[in-house]
């Protein structure tokens, strides 16, 4: 966090399973590096992607979207002046219910994959809908298109519209169906089910207890929403008056584990942060959503100071943008709004998230939240090659870099001055870049997107 590792003049070798086998600094010839690593390889078996001659081109770890409602994609940008609870009733539940139609779901989910991959998202933790068949379809599409994904069939059995709700036993049946389909039919290590109680108000205590038990029995990830909106907090207090806090509602149903992703976490007490830390659960920070449906400003620095894992979520379509780059930018801006409201000048600086901070949240931070730090999130020997190739000069881009700004940083990779120059280029990417700069994307070493088809 806050640090950036730049590997100039470095070659990196990936095997057929997508595992990074070597990383060699001061490389002169990547083909030779591969042959040095394994003399039994034949040159024709090695595929080289070389960025060295091309200024403004670099690899960055694939983005990790820790919270995205795939089913809500058609509503991206459509939220009017609503806030969470009326937004759910007016915009969201009717849209989600319509995905029971498999043709509709197929179109929407394929489009989500088109867009997330083109924006460099190599791993996503998805919410689908309550419907098992279309959730299974989404899992198939992710496997087919090669994205690393958690598939969350949504669970809700109370305080939901008649046209979009399950009973406890229907929900148990459909979740079992999705877990079985993904594990025993799709059988792709990269695609996993995730237990998804929508949020406490729409789940009975009985349902949450069963979900906690099921997650434990099958060693499953869990995701839900926590402390997003003030009216939601009051509602939870009324519904679960026996619990001391919103966080304890989940904790008392065994829903807080090291594999739990908690979206939003805006209005939490210190005691609640202690519980989240203790349980080693992670937070998905969704700044575009929080600003759009005016939920509030998540105090990310406070979470990080509490040693809580934090990643980024687009939260489509509470959030309007499929891009994790745009979400990182908004995370930086929201932290500055918090800083502007802080009267103590010394604390102000600390509240501001830097470019390096938010790019950490977009990659390694997300990997920590999904409990996948051993496999993804950065370039390390033994990790998967989940990567995007960025070109700051690609056609039509908003990024403008003058020749003198490049300053040939690659020639003097090790000195601090050139590290600073490269950090400036990354800042340009964060603030002025978009999907036009993402020219190629790989998941587990396999190319899943290319802008030059
Ligand atoms: N809380 C319960 N459901 C939702 C949802 O779909 N989106 C967001 N942002 N918050 C929720
Ligand atoms: Fe959400």
* 8 Å CB contact between 360 and 8: no
366-385 pLDDT, tens per residue?
A: 999 999 999 999 999 999 99
pLDDT value for 208: 98
Q: Which domain holds residue 88?
A: 63-369
Residues 81 and 223 occupy one common structural domain: yes
pLDDT value for 198: 98
Establish if 118 belongs to a structural domain.
yes
300-336 pLDDT, tens per residue?
A: 999 999 999 999 999 999 999 999 999 999 999 999 9
Q: Residue 38 above 90 pLDDT?
A: yes
In the reported structure, the alpha carbon of residue 337 is separated from the centroid of ligand 1 by a whole-number distance in angstroms of: 24
Residues in the chain: 453
Establish if 6 belongs to a structural domain.
no
42-62 pLDDT, tens per residue?
A: 999 999 988 867 788 999 999
Residue 33 Cβ < 6 Å to ligand 1? no
Classified as helix, coil or strand, 52 is coil
Q: Which of 218, 285, 299, 208 is nearest to 251 (CA)?
A: 208
Which of 78, 154, 164, 225 for a ligand 1 pocket mutation test, highest count of atoms within 8 Å of Cβ?
A: 225
**DSSP assignment of 215-236:** HHHTT-EEEEEES--HHHHHHH
Q: Which of 287, 212, 222 is nearest to 254 (CA)?
A: 212
Query: What whole-number distance in Å separates Cα of residue 9 and Cα of residue 294?
Result: 45
In the reported structure, the alpha carbon of residue 265 is separated from the centroid of ligand 1 by a whole-number distance in angstroms of: 12
Mean pLDDT of 350-356: 98
Residue 69 Cβ < 6 Å to ligand 1? yes
57-84 pLDDT, tens per residue?
A: 999 999 999 999 999 999 999 999 999 9
Q: Residue 182 above 90 pLDDT?
A: yes
Integer CA distances (angstroms), 371 to 210, 264, 317, in order: 22, 18, 25
Establish if 172 belongs to a structural domain.
yes
Mean pLDDT of 166-178: 98
Residues 94 and 217 occupy one common structural domain: yes
Establish if 364 belongs to a structural domain.
yes
Residues 307 and 399 occupy one common structural domain: no
| Pick from 40-49, 80-89, 113-122, 133-142: least confident | 40-49
399-442 pLDDT, tens per residue?
A: 999 887 876 555 555 556 677 888 899 999 999 999 999 999 99
Residue 148 Cβ < 6 Å to ligand 1? no
Residues 53 and 73 occupy one common structural domain: no
Strand partners, 154: 196
Domain count, the chain: 2
Mean pLDDT of 225-249: 98
Query: What whole-number distance in Å separates Cα of residue 212 and Cα of residue 256?
Result: 8
Q: Which atom of ligand 1 is nearest to the CA of 92?
A: 6
pLDDT value for 50: 82
3-state secondary structure string, 24-50?
A: ECCCCCHHHHHHHHCCCCCHHHCCCCC
Query: What whole-number distance in Å separates Cα of residue 8 and Cα of residue 48?
Result: 16
Residue 267 Cβ < 6 Å to ligand 1? no
Query: If pLDDT is split at 50, 70 and 90, which confidence band does 218 have?
Result: very high
Mean pLDDT of 109-125: 98
> Which of 313, 336, 369 is the last residue before a domain boundary?
369
Residues 397 and 364 occupy one common structural domain: no
| CA 72 remoteness from chain centre | 16
pLDDT value for 411: 56
pLDDT value for 453: 64
In the reported structure, the alpha carbon of residue 12 is separated from the centroid of ligand 1 by a whole-number distance in angstroms of: 40
Residues 265 and 130 occupy one common structural domain: yes
Establish if 5 belongs to a structural domain.
no
Residues 203 and 348 occupy one common structural domain: yes
* 8 Å CB contact between 132 and 166: no
Ligand at shortest distance from the CA of 262: 2
Residue nearest to atom 9 of ligand 1 (CA): 318
Residue 228 Cβ < 6 Å to ligand 1? yes
ipTM of this model?
0.99
Residue 251 Cβ < 6 Å to ligand 1? no
CATH code for position 39: 2.30.40.10
In the reported structure, the alpha carbon of residue 69 is separated from the centroid of ligand 1 by a whole-number distance in angstroms of: 9
- Residues with beta carbon < 5 A to ion ligand 2? 315
Q: Residue 357 above 70 pLDDT?
A: yes
Establish if 3 belongs to a structural domain.
no
Contact residues for 234 (Cβ-Cβ < 8 A; gap 6+): none
Residue nearest to atom 3 of ligand 1 (CA): 198
In the reported structure, the alpha carbon of residue 263 is separated from the centroid of ligand 2 by a whole-number distance in angstroms of: 7
Residues 56 and 77 occupy one common structural domain: no
Establish if 191 belongs to a structural domain.
yes
In the reported structure, the alpha carbon of residue 69 is separated from the centroid of ligand 2 by a whole-number distance in angstroms of: 6
- For a pLDDT cut of 90, what percent of the chain falls above it? 90
Establish if 1 belongs to a structural domain.
no
Q: Which of 383, 381, 335, 391 is nearest to 358 (CA)?
A: 335
> Which of 369, 397, 424 is the last residue before a domain boundary?
369
Mean pLDDT of 268-292: 98
In the reported structure, the alpha carbon of residue 270 is separated from the centroid of ligand 2 by a whole-number distance in angstroms of: 23
Q: Residue 104 above 60 pLDDT?
A: yes
Residues 382 and 256 occupy one common structural domain: no
Q: Which atom of ligand 1 is nearest to the CA of 72?
A: 6
Which of 91, 129, 165, 228 for a ligand 1 pocket mutation test, highest count of atoms within 8 Å of Cβ?
A: 228
> Which of 310, 341, 369 is the last residue before a domain boundary?
369
Which of 66, 68, 69 for a ligand 1 pocket mutation test, highest count of atoms within 8 Å of Cβ?
A: 69
Residues 202 and 305 occupy one common structural domain: yes
pLDDT value for 310: 99
Residues 226 and 91 occupy one common structural domain: yes
Mean pLDDT of 244-257: 98
Residues 172 and 105 occupy one common structural domain: yes
CATH code for position 269: 3.20.20.140
């Amino acid at each position: 966090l806050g640090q950036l590792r730049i590997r100039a003049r470095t070659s990196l070798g990936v095997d057929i399973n997508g595992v990074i086998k070597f990383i060699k600094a001061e490389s002169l010839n990547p083909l030779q590096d591969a042959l040095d690593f394994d003399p039994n390889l034949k040159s024709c078996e090695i595929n080289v992607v070389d960025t060295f001659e091309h200024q403004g081109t670099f690899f960055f770890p694939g983005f990790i979207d820790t919270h995205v409602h795939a089913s809500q994609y058609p509503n991206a940008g459509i939220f009017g002046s609503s806030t969470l609870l009326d937004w759910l009733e007016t915009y969201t539940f009717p849209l989600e219910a319509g995905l029971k139609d498999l043709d509709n779901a197929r179109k929407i989910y394929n489009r989500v994959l088109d867009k997330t991959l083109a924006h460099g998202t190599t791993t996503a933790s998805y919410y689908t809908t309550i419907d098992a068949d279309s959730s299974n379809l989404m899992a198939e599409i992710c496997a087919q298109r090669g994205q690393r994904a958690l598939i969350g069939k949504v669970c809700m059995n109370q305080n939901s519209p008649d046209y979009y709700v399950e009973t406890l036993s229907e929900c148990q049946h459909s979740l079992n169906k999705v877990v079985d389909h993904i594990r025993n039919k799709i059988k792709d290590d990269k695609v996993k089910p995730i237990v998804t109680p929508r949020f406490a108000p729409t789940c009975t205590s009985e349902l949450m207890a069963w979900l906690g038990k099921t997650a434990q029995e099958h060693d499953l990830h869990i995701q839900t929403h926590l402390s997003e909106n003030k009216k939601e907090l009051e509602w939870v207090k009324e519904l679960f008056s026996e619990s001391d806090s919103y966080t304890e509602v989940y904790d008392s149903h065994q829903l807080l584990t090291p594999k739990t992703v908690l979206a939003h976490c805006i209005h939490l007490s210190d005691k609640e942060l202690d519980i989240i830390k203790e349980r080693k659960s992670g937070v998905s920070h969704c700044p575009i959503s929080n600003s759009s449906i005016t939920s509030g400003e998540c105090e990310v620095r406070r979470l990080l100071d509490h040693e809580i894992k934090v990643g980024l979520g687009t939260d489509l379509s509470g959030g309007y943008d499929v891009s994790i780059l745009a979400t990182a930018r908004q995370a930086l801006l929201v932290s500055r709004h918090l800083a502007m409201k802080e009267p103590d000048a010394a604390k102000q600086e600390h509240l501001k998230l830097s470019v390096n901070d938010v790019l950490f949240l977009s990659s390694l931070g997300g990997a920590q939240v999904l409990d996948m730090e051993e496999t993804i999130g950065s370039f390390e020997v033994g990790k998967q090659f989940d990567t995007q190739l960025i070109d700051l000069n690609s056609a039509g881009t908003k990024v403008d870099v003058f020749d003198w700004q490049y300053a040939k940083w690659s020639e003097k990779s090790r000195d601090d001055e050139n590290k600073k120059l490269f950090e400036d280029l990354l800042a340009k990417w964060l603030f002025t870049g978009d999907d036009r700069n993402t020219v190629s994307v790989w998941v587990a070493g396999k190319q899943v997107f290319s802008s030059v088809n």
